[in-house]
Structure 1
Amino acid sequence: MRKWLTKIDQINRTESIIYLLMWLLMFTGSLFSILSNLGELRWSRIYIEWIRLTPFIIIFLINTTILAPYLLLKKRLVYYLISVSVLVTVIVLLSTQMHLLISWLFDHPNGSVLPRRPIKAKSDLLGERLIMAILIIGLNNTIKLLIQRQKEDKQHEEQKKLLLQTELSFLRNQIGPHFFMNTLNNIHALIAIDPDKAGRSVIRLSELMRHMLNEGTKEKASIKAEFGFLNSYINLMRLRCSKRVRIDVAFQVEDSDRMIPSFLFVSIVENAFKYGVDYSKPSFIEISATIVDDYLIFKSRNSKNIQIETAQKTGIGLENLQKQLHLLYETAYDLSISDEPDQFNIQLKIPIGHD
């Protein structure tokens, strides 16, 4: 929220700077007009020229602070058109009288400060003032509408990011309970078979829990930390597997400090052990990861336990993973799932940045 308010303040400052530059150009233009007509700058003439701009400044201020924010930007167009028409009519008529007063100053015998000059016809003067007022309001509204559109885009962007973070947090929070439930079930089954292994499993589980508590609130983790966690989890799972289960792990990711979404691959590894181990026959689990250019390619291949294999493709873990990938990368990732009669394959390719 604080970042969003800072961006809005920056947009408001930008709008103020644009308006300041606009009026500086108009004032500067009047100076060049005086210089071109008289060949020199006279303060009396400068004051008179700036006084002529006063009605348009009033139109601008009323429009930019009252009419546009409370009527135009709130889509109350009929009220806005009526109000701005009344404003322009009144100010233009008053500015015409001001022009006549200035012209009188030019011709006054005792107070003439500048050489005489022809007085414009009142109809021509009204037309000139009307066009000037319309141009100023048009320019003011164009800038304000563009700035408003920029504000709305910023708000939409921040709301989208907030929603994305909320959804990702929800999905990550689902990983923890699901992960620990399966792990505790495995340890419970191991207690009756090999209490010593079950004890070591509890110690390793506590290390994993400590990691998840420390890193669970972070959106990203280094490749080094993430694959260190996966290795620890795989080593924990090895304790409950018999020699009939072949487990091959090849993480060729070096000790990279490049960042990736935290706990992204846990569901794949967890599913491989949950659905790929069949104690009634030889089984296998193969997990690998490599970095090719600016992509991380994660592969998992496992045999199928025919008693529960139908749930692997549609399990909560993979469904959760697909939602996370869509939120994180939209279409900038590649997830392929191959469900064959005797094995299950997953390949995930995600972009990784440089730090």
Structure 2
Amino acid sequence: MQLIIKNRVQIVVHISIWILLYGLTFYPVLNDARPIPSDVFPKVIVIIILFYINYFYLVPEYLLKKSVLFYILVSLGLLAISVLLINHFYEPKFPDNFFFNRIRPRGFMIMPYYKLFLNLGIPYVISAILRMYVEWKRNENLRLSVEKENIKSELQFLKAQLNPHFLFNSLNTIYALSVKKSPDTSEAIVDLSELMRYMIYEADKDLVPLNKEIDYIKSYIQLQRLRLSDSENVSLKITGEDRGRAVPPLMFISFIENAFKYGTDYKGKTYVKITLTITDTSIYLNVKNKIGIFREPTKNSGIGLENIRNQLKLIYPGLHKLEVENDGKDYEVSLTIYQKHSSL
């Protein structure tokens, strides 16, 4: 379908060019009811032939392949031969102010050849410019398409990394519950199954409803609460309207996951504060946790965090702000996503 549309657009462009080139030329003659000179139509045919030889063959085969000197020599040769042939067979007088106007020379004069060379050369140059623009546009569309595919492939790769990472951490949580023979183990398994369902059926999409992403976060936090011996200082505060808003799936979970991973000390005490603020123009996430003893995050704090950094660069270039603060006691992540009016 797109190919058909492109072909139609090219046809319209070519028709428009010929109308502009010769509509104004023939209008004075037709308007004054003057006879059209006999050599006009042969010249037009020659111009059209030169135009499309240049458009379909010479420009793509030589000019665009950097054989510029050869292209110029061949073009000048074609134009010169065409001028000589036309002047050999046709030497009529032309009305004043006519596009192909020339006066029958007395003896040898250069002006008629010069004017005819311009008459043939101008459409010839236009054909070269038009073909170069078409090729540039085609290459630009191809570049954008490849770039888009590369971004899509990279995002899929990042998500493929994230999912096993998340599953590994969640299974560790359930394992910890089972070791303690906690009655919450079965509930944790149900929570994990819901989380996995979301990851399987939603995470492969470009965008998901924000309310679904929030439900996913709530389920994850609930799963974490089950494994904690002290979850009193775990909080989630959400403000703003999430209806009609959309975000890339799994965008926030790595920040929250790292907060739980490093916000729990060896005694099991956890301090994690999560705030999600939704406005008309942005989504703001703040995650703060105490740095547990012997659990201070390092530069290589996990695949998930670096994964999300890369996704933000790909999806929201210039439209996000990520700040990380670490004073040795508290670790705080603030993420602002400026909405591109993404909605579902």
Instruction: Calculate the TM-score normalised by the size of structure 1.
Output: 0.86
The residue that corresponds to 1:21 in the other structure is 16
Aligned length, in residue pairs: 332
* Greater percentage in helix: 1
Q: Structure 1 pair 257/194, CA: closer, same or farther in 2 (3 Å)?
A: farther
* Alpha-carbon offset, residue 98 of structure 1: 3.1
Which of 108, 122, 131 is 1:144 aligned to?
A: 131
State the match for 1:119 in structure 2.
Answer: 104
Match of 2:40 among 34, 49, 53: 49
Q: Look up the equivalent residue of 1:83 and give its one-letter code.
A: V
CA RMSD, 1 decimal: 2.3
Aligned twin of 1:185:
172
Return the alpha-carbon distance in structure 1 between the equivalents of residues 49 and 299 of structure 2: 71
Q: CA deviation at 1:261?
A: 1.0
Is residue 227 from structure 1 mapped to residue 227 from structure 2 by the alignment? no
Percent identical among aligned pairs is 27
Structure 2 regions of 5+ residues with no counterpart? Answer: 94-101
Matched, 1:260 2:247: yes
Q: CA deviation at 1:152?
A: 1.9
Q: Does 1:73 align with 2:68?
A: no
Deviations 1:166-225 (A, max 9, x none): 111111111100000001011111102134211211111111111111112101111111
Q: Does 1:34 pair with 2:29?
A: yes
Change (3 A) 1:233 1:310: closer
TM-score normalised by structure 2 residue count = 0.89
Distance change in 2, residues 1:172/1:46 (3 Å): farther
Cα distance in 2 between the residues matched to 1:305 and 1:313? 17
Structure 2: distance between partners of 1:136 and 1:291: 58
Gap runs ≥5 in structure 1: 104-116
Residues 162 and 303 of structure 2 are in contact (CA less than 8 Å); yes or no, is this contact kept in structure 1? no
Q: Report the equivalent of 1:113.
A: none
- For the Cα contact (< 8 Å) 2:52–2:127, is it kept in 1? no
- Alignment partner of 1:351 is 2:338: yes
Give the letter aligned to residue 221 of structure 2: I
SS in 1 for 2:185: helix
How far apart are the structure 1 equivalents of 2:231 and 2:277?
Answer: 27
Match of 2:98 in 1: none
Q: C-alpha deviations, 1:139-177, integer Å up to 9, x for none? A: 221222222222222121111111111111111111100
Task: Provide the rounded CA distance (Å) in 2 between the counterparts of 1:17 and 1:331.
Answer: 38
Residue 291 (1) aligns with residue 278 (2)? yes
Distance 1:70 1:312, change over 3 A: closer
Q: Say which SS state the counterpart of residue 196 (structure 1) adopts.
A: coil
From 318, 323, 328, the counterpart of 2:310? 323
Conserved? CA contact 1:248–1:287, under 8 Å: yes
Give runs of aligned pairs for residues 182-261 of structure 1, distance below 5 A: 182-243=169-230, 245-261=232-248
Change (3 A) 1:298 1:232: same
Question: Which residue matches 2:96?
Answer: none
